[in-house]
Amino acid sequence: MHADVHVEAAVPLVWELVTDIGLPARLSPELRRVAWLDGADRPFVGARFEGYNQHRLIGEWRTVSQVLELDEQRVFGWAVMDADGRYGEPTLDPAKSLASWRYVLEAEDGGTRLRQSALIGPGRSGVTLTIERWPDREEEIVAFRLKELRAGMEATLGGIKALAEAGA
């Protein structure tokens, strides 16, 4: 799934915002805080950061993410892993991520087209557990989660747009 927005600001400014891993914690309804790991202080392929999330239905949890894509001022992507085994076997393997997230930026009409996308899986997640508990409601569960993710993306993109257009 994805969401996108046109931002009336140059790509370099929008890039600075999307690669600030702390910014989504100020904008997202679920992500509460993040911190770089292993001495990293900026994104680079292989850099890792932990995220702390909260959801009204499933409580709080921690993830570890690893930057998988970094094409300067164009693409920033990372895989989110269940390092603590909340949803199954603990993993730090991006091939078993519970989700992958990505920003893509393109110059457009004097500003920037910003797209955020998410891919759930292939690893286990809260959605997996919920479906296992109520298999007859799988379609409803997936639709509910996609609606939540879209709302979170729109809040994040709207916040980035507002900050960029204010000259953050």
Lowest mean pLDDT among 76-80, 102-106, 121-125: 121-125
Does 74 score more than 80 pLDDT? yes
Quick check: 165 pLDDT over 70? Answer: yes
Question: What's the pLDDT tens digit per position in 40-57?
Answer: 999 999 999 999 999 887
The reported pLDDT for the residue numbered 168 is 63
Percent above pLDDT 90 for the chain: 86
pTM for this entry: 0.92
Q: Give the model's pLDDT for residue 28.
A: 86
Cβ-Cβ contacts under 8 Å for 40 (sequence gap 6 or more): 47, 48, 49
- H/E stretch holding 25: helix 23-27
Asked: is 2-165 a CATH 3.30.530.20 domain? The reply is: yes
Q: What is the mean pLDDT of residues 76-102?
A: 96
Domain boundaries, the chain: 2-165
**In terms of Cα–Cα distance, which of 93, 97, 92, 144 is closest to 125?**
97
Residue 94 · residue 69 · CB < 8 Å: no
Q: In the chain, what percentage of residues exceed pLDDT 70?
A: 99
